[in-house]
Structure 1
């Protein structure tokens, strides 16, 4: 990494902006890009949580807008910033407008010849490993357990560096406002020349004053050959390591498998499986947080416009409107996404 611009290219992997983002300004070493997406998502039969849809369709559509800028200070120093917000749809029948934008990312940083440092609301270090299997409509369940391993986390200091064009190293520190809520993480992702990727990460955080601690280990492996990609990830750790006798000592495990195959002419098929379980270490009781199989057919008109249909077979139990414990509903999702 002889130039700072190489360090900021590592950080671009953290950005959730569109690959077709438009450069609207570039002068005297300073550039500005605007991107985002408009995506219709309609759920039929059941929603993504497994609850039955009483009517015909639940609207899960969303609109994202992001702005990213970069300025070249010298050969070895670059400054950058990124912001992204999302607006969803109120699916109720009274056509109530959703006027609120949800802040997803907002951070600024500097890129050096040794890597990039950024500060703000952003992904923690473990996310580069959990994203190895995040290629489906309902995937990326491995990030949901603890704050120290999640995405879009406030008050995060992050480092990202790439070495030997094969090893991506990330580190993160959460400097929380509240007492005893700090966290940290460290991960590495090594990609071999023949398409094999190996990822490993560790994160931990305090749950609050007197509320114990949480930790997570995550590992991932992927393989790419031609038009075929397959990946798997496994994670385990503690949601709460406190042994106060109040039945709040909990651990978790999570498995996610995903694959896709590009059929050509814009078509591809995606399959995924995910299961995560939470265990109360005092009572021994277990409960599943995720347990599903999804199959997706996708067609890309071009790099900006795609359509897809996903069927999610949900194996969970849910509580219905009557308070009964019933089998979760499967879900059929239709989508149309435009990136800009």
Structure 2
């Protein structure tokens, strides 16, 4: 079933998280090399304005078991998007890291997930409108450069820690996360991050801190998750503005092979003194999965003070088709 396969990929703690349709190019008892990616056409309608959000993602990854106690691995993934005004393309690195898996855990360095990404992924599962509220600081965002991460797993327990030193954004900080599977259906998690980074004040930096809790439940055709965040965040000319945030996601899969999915999401973020970060919307979505191919339609209902579209309070419609390989 597609839903259960996706959850396995997301939650099993695999260091190299390959897409479901990755192609194995080379494999022996000790080595393997894979390639994967997607071509995705997407159109977005916001306040009557159409924009093309199509993209291509490609990745290569491999691992080498050196002995019973040590396996080394690496991954590179990039995304290509087109400029709307010309034929030029934008290239964005998503992952670029190497690591080692040992008996005491895994160590990874490079451009990669942060420690708390495991937790924030509980609710970041919609094709379009989810995963907004954790992106406002370097160490709570999905990925960051120059990051060292440690992962430990044992009998349902997941521990992660990461530290970041990103000279490009004048940012450094750390993140910690712990999760535990109470049963095969229910998992709880908590984490914290701290980021000392530049917020448009030349070389001046301010510290932002986040505290996170999350839970998810899956059984049969149902998936439910929720995440809460609080702490303080800074911006240009503003230091230590208190914030609260909530993210929730619910999905139902149906059909002979769970090839149909409907979901709804809710995202809320409010900082006392930084109105530009306000997020407050409900998303609804339908997706159809057919092997390596998927089509979907998503609609975002903007609520009071929502600025997630970048144009103030605006509803959004997005449709897309994706082929993975």
TM-score, normalised relative to structure 2: 0.87
1:294 aligned partner:
283
TM-superposed CA distance for 1:299, in Å, is 0.8
TM-superposed CA distance for 1:184, in Å, is 0.8
Q: Indicate if the aligned counterparts of 1:317 and 1:326 stay in contact, CA closer than 8 A.
A: no
Question: Unaligned stretches of 5+ in structure 2?
Answer: 1-10
Residue 111, structure 1, aligned to residue 96, structure 2: no
Aligned pairs for 1:271-286 (under 5 A) are 271-280=264-273
TM-superposed CA distance for 1:306, in Å, is 1.0
Helix, strand or coil for the counterpart of 2:167? Answer: coil
Aligned pairs for 1:146-157 (under 5 A) are 146-157=137-148
The number of equivalent residue pairs is: 306
Give the Cα–Cα distance (whole angstroms) in 2 for the partners of residues 230 and 10 of structure 1.
Answer: 18
Give the Cα–Cα distance (whole angstroms) in 2 for the partners of residues 104 and 148 of structure 1.
Answer: 15
Give the Cα–Cα distance (whole angstroms) in 2 for the partners of residues 254 and 174 of structure 1.
Answer: 23
Task: Name the CA shift for 1:326/1:157 in 2 (closer, same or farther; >3 Å).
Answer: closer
1:237 aligned partner:
231
Give the Cα–Cα distance (whole angstroms) in 2 for the partners of residues 75 and 223 of structure 1.
Answer: 35
Q: Indicate if the aligned counterparts of 2:106 and 2:152 stay in contact, CA closer than 8 A.
A: yes
Which one has the bigger strand percentage? 2
Give the Cα–Cα distance (whole angstroms) in 1 for the partners of residues 60 and 302 of structure 2.
Answer: 36
1:224 aligned partner:
218
Q: Indicate if the aligned counterparts of 2:233 and 2:240 stay in contact, CA closer than 8 A.
A: yes
Helix, strand or coil for the counterpart of 2:122? Answer: helix
1:257 aligned partner:
248
What whole-Å deviation, never above 9, does each CA across 1:107-153 have from its counterpart, x for those lacking one?
Answer: 00110012110000011111111110011112112321211111220
1:191 aligned partner:
181
2:14 aligned partner:
12
Task: Name the CA shift for 1:254/1:318 in 2 (closer, same or farther; >3 Å).
Answer: closer
1:41 aligned partner:
42
Give the Cα–Cα distance (whole angstroms) in 1 for the partners of residues 80 and 217 of structure 2.
Answer: 35
Residue 336, structure 1, aligned to residue 307, structure 2: no
Give the Cα–Cα distance (whole angstroms) in 2 for the partners of residues 263 and 67 of structure 1.
Answer: 33
Residue 172, structure 1, aligned to residue 195, structure 2: no
Give the Cα–Cα distance (whole angstroms) in 1 for the partners of residues 276 and 147 of structure 2.
Answer: 31
Greater relative contact order (Cα < 8 A, sep 6+) = 1
Instruction: Name the larger-Rg structure.
Output: 1
TM-superposed CA distance for 1:18, in Å, is 1.2
Task: Name the CA shift for 1:32/1:63 in 2 (closer, same or farther; >3 Å).
Answer: same
Question: Unaligned stretches of 5+ in structure 1?
Answer: 1-8, 47-51, 320-324
TM-superposed CA distance for 1:210, in Å, is 4.3
TM-superposed CA distance for 1:190, in Å, is 1.1
Q: Indicate if the aligned counterparts of 1:216 and 1:236 stay in contact, CA closer than 8 A.
A: yes
Q: Indicate if the aligned counterparts of 1:315 and 1:327 stay in contact, CA closer than 8 A.
A: no
1:81 aligned partner:
74
